[in-house]
Chain A
């Protein structure tokens, strides 16, 4: 059974840093690209970042580029999202999501339960 368990959320001041983790199990970790998707309170879904199965390729939303870094550790089956220079608008529930490959594209077939990040003074 695929499981994704996020952790590391919490309250942080503007300009501060936070590192989120996502522990994965139930699938061959290094074979799948992974993503972070966030949802501000009462708002819709916003894609944040994607990392390839090998970890050699990453993509970021413009809103977080240069501030967030997505990495993965295959020895621990864990993803990390290092978030620096946090802003109030980064306040959201952050989900990690596994990819499924179909018809030359990738979709999100499993999601974690989410971890809440609140940026406030």
Chain B
């Protein structure tokens, strides 16, 4: 199985800050990576797929980059509604696997 490791596990930042979350795969997965946001009590929401493609309707302050084993999700200017937990997920092979999550808090 491919293991996905996110860092940091949590981040507290102010509105307007740039926030970066990284995800590392235990083996190369090309660009087969997605990022999801999950607010408390809600279902996950797709933000980025194929490592860098912005899902329709997602604000442009979200961006994704990387390929192979190292990936990054960047929020260019943090907004109050961006709180929640962010997960990366590999779609290269079965079983699909998720990172452990990064909790984003607004200061």
- Chain A interfacial positions (CB closer than 8 Å to B): 35, 37, 44-47, 50, 59-62, 95, 100, 102-103, 105-109, 111-114
Contacts and interface: CB of A to CB of B under 8 A. Distances in A.
13 contacts: A44-B87, A44-B101, A45-B101, A62-B95, A95-B43, A105-B32, A107-B46, A107-B89, A109-B55, A111-B43, A112-B43, A113-B42, A114-B43
A107 B50 CA distance: 8
Interface of B: 31-32, 34, 36, 38, 42-46, 49-50, 53, 55, 87, 89, 91-92, 94-101
Contact of A95 (B44, B89, B98): B44
Contacts of A37: 44
A54 B36 CA distance: 27
By DSSP majority rule, is chain A's interface helix, strand, loop, or mixed?
strand
A47 B42 CA distance: 17
Given A107-B49, A108-B44, 20 more contacts: A35-B96, A44-B87, A44-B99, A44-B101, A45-B87, A47-B96, A47-B98, A50-B94, A60-B95, A61-B95, A95-B43, A95-B44, A100-B49, A102-B50, A103-B31, A105-B50, A106-B91, A107-B46, A111-B44, A112-B43
A113 B101 contact: no
Given A103-B32, A107-B34, A59 B95 contact: yes
Contacts of B94: 50, 59
B71 to A, nearest CB: 14
Given A102-B53, A103-B32, A107-B50, A44 B44 contact: no
Contacts of B92: 105
Contact of A50 (B32, B45, B96, B100): B96
A47 B53 CA distance: 22
Nearest to B50: A103
Contacts of B46: 100, 107-109
Contacts of B44: 37, 45, 95, 108, 111
B93 to A, nearest CB: 10
B50 A111 contact: no
